[in-house]
């Protein structure tokens, strides 16, 4: 689904390509299969969001290739690029990066369908009801604005919006970092459940290895813009091969979040 091969990227030219003044990520190679959740862990500033921006096509790498469903993301232009962007959606730490405070939830969920000219008014409102149901929100929530929701509900809306166009790949950049631990658990459960039902691939970015140990099929550990270790979650968390992974694990507070505790009450 997603192949990242030898990607190097940095800043200094406004992201327009060519020679970057500072290299932020270097020679990154990773894969995410359909229906797989791959965690990307690493400390603040190591380059996680930069990699996410390269994968979505927002930032051009100075070397390497990103393929989604076999297509080189950075070789696309114009209409082909816009069509392709439907396949890759993002969920951010701050839901307000995708939700306008002035729009109702219903409007926010309709917008991607309208922009990509999917269906008519009737089928769109049916789809909005379906999306609310998918993320465990009551239909009445559709009439509210983001400011009238709890943090957990807002993040559910952001997830529903990201899934509106049935993407093949979901990139989650610290989506639960701003939430209380108990609410984190319900949102993580929701993501697992949705992945099982919809079979999108997911690149889940976090500095918190405890979150990944409960959620990810595989984990990649990034340090200073390089992947220092990657493998199945059980291997990486119980038999880390790189000293930096051991340091990260030692610094991770044990988080007792019960993955079975679920429910829309957040
Ligand atoms: N637009 C930009 N222009 C120049 N430098 C940038 C830009 N965005 C990020 N950087 C630098 O690139 C490096 C990596 O940033 P990035 O946002 O990818 O880190 P991160 O791993 O996502 O960190 P965090 O966990 O804090 O979100 C940092 O040193 C940052 O200062
Ligand atoms: Mg970041």
- Beta strands (DSSP E) in the chain are 2-11, 22-32, 37-41, 63-68, 71-72, 88-91, 169-173, 201-206, 218-223, 226-232
Tokens of 157: 């809306």
* Residues contacting ligand 1 via CB (< 6 Å): 11, 24, 42, 44-50, 207
Ligand nearest to the CA of 40: 1
| Residue 102 near residue 124, CB atoms below 8 Å | no
Domains of the chain: 1-87+171-205+213-258 (3.40.50.300), 98-166 (no CATH)
- Among protein residues, the one whose CA lies closest to atom 4 of ligand 1: 11
Per-residue pLDDT 10s for the chain (266 aa) are 999 999 999 998 554 555 657 999 999 999 999 999 999 999 899 999 999 999 998 899 999 999 999 999 999 988 888 888 889 999 999 988 889 999 999 999 999 999 989 999 999 999 999 999 999 999 999 999 999 999 999 999 999 999 999 999 999 999 998 888 889 889 999 999 999 999 999 999 998 898 899 899 999 999 999 999 999 999 999 999 999 999 888 887 663 333 334 444 45
Q: Which residues of 188-224 are buried (b: 16+ CB within 10 A; e: fewer)?
A: bbbbbebbeeeebbbbbbbbbbbbbbbbbbbbbbbbe
| Residue 88 near residue 168, CB atoms below 8 Å | yes
- Among protein residues, the one whose CA lies closest to atom 3 of ligand 1: 11
Ligand 1 atom at minimal distance to the Cα of residue 51: 18
Predicted pLDDT at 17: 53
Predicted pLDDT at 262: 42
C-alpha pair distances (Å), 50 with each of 71, 148, 172: 20, 32, 13
246 C-alpha to ligand 1 centroid (Å)? 23
- Among protein residues, the one whose CA lies closest to atom 7 of ligand 1: 11
Neighbours of 177 (CB within 10 A): 15
φ, ψ (nearest 5 deg) of residue 245: -65, -40
DSSP letters of 207-232?
Answer: S-HHHHHHH-SEEEEEETTEEEEEEE
Predicted pLDDT at 254: 62
Predicted pLDDT at 264: 45
141 C-alpha to ligand 1 centroid (Å)? 35
Ligand 1 atom at minimal distance to the Cα of residue 93: 27
112 C-alpha to ligand 1 centroid (Å)? 28
Query: Which of 8, 9, 11 gets mutated to test ligand 1 (max ligand atoms within 8 A of its CB)?
Result: 11
48 C-alpha to ligand 1 centroid (Å)? 8
61 C-alpha to ligand 1 centroid (Å)? 14
Distance CA 22, CA 210 (A): 31
Tokens of 60: 């051009």
């Amino acid at each position: 689904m997603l192949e990242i091969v030898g990607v190097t990227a940095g800043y200094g030219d406004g992201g327009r390509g060519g020679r970057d003044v500072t290299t932020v990520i270097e020679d990154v190679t990773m894969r995410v299969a359909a229906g797989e959740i791959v965690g990307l862990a690493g400390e603040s500033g190591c380059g996680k969001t930069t990699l996410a921006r390269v994968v979505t096509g927002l930032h051009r790498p100075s070397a390497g290739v990103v393929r989604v469903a076999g297509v080189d993301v950075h070789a696309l232009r114009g209409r082909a690029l816009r069509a392709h962007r439907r396949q890759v959606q993002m969920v951010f730490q701050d839901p307000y990066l995708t939700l306008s405070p002035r729009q109702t939830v219903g409007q926010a969920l309709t917008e991607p369908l309208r922009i990509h000219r999917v269906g008519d008014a009737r089928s769109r409102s049916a789809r909005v009801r379906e999306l609310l149901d998918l993320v465990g929100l009551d239909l009445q929530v559709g009439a509210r604005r983001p400011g009238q929701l709890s943090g957990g509900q807002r993040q559910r809306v952001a997830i529903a919006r990201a899934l509106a166009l049935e993407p093949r790949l979901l990139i989650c950049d610290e989506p639960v970092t701003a939430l209380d631990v108990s609410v984190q658990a319900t949102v993580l459960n929701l993501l697992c459940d949705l992945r099982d039902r919809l079979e999108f691939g997911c690149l889940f970015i976090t500095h918190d290895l405890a979150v990944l140990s409960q959620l990810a099929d595989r984990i990649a550990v990034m340090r200073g813009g390089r992947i220092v270790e990657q493998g199945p979650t059980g291997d990486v968390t119980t038999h880390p091969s790189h000293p930096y992974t051991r340091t990260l694990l030692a610094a991770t507070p044990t988080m007792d979040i019960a993955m079975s505790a679920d429910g829309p009450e957040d």
